[in-house]
Amino acid sequence: MSYVNINPAEFEAGMKNENSVILDVRTPGEWNEGIIPGSLLINVMEPDFANRIDDLDRSKAYYIYCRSGNRSGMVAGFMSQKGFSELYNLADGIMSWNGEIAQPA
């Protein structure tokens, strides 16, 4: 496997690292329901999704989530094929998250 499935506690600990990027791959509608603070939205359903991933810094650690962990797992696999090496998937998505939820700005 090219990425690691992690639980909410591991996700929360890792995302606090200064080299980490929290990546939300849900739709804008889901995003508006609440986000993990500090998240960057790149909707996996958008036509420019692959281009937006290509623009990301490959030296960063990516903590990726969606609603249930399925889309984020697919995105983590895709990013691995694109040369990203430090990828973490929130295994059961934001549904399993018990940390802070923020409203997007």
Residues 20/84, Cβ–Cβ less than 8 Å: no
Domain boundaries, the chain: 4-96
1 pLDDT more than 90 = no
- Mean pLDDT, rounded, for 23-52: 97
- Homologous superfamily of the 4-96 domain (CATH): Rhodanese-like domain (3.40.250.10)
φ, ψ for residue 49 (rounded to 5)? -55, -50
pTM value is 0.96
φ, ψ for residue 78 (rounded to 5)? -60, -45
What is the reported pLDDT for 105?
Answer: 80
92-102 confidence digits (pLDDT tens): 999 999 999 99
41-88 confidence digits (pLDDT tens): 999 999 999 999 999 999 999 999 999 999 999 999 999 999 999 999
Residue 94 CB neighbours (<10 A) = 23
- Mean pLDDT, rounded, for 7-22: 97
Which amino acid type is present at position 83?
A: G
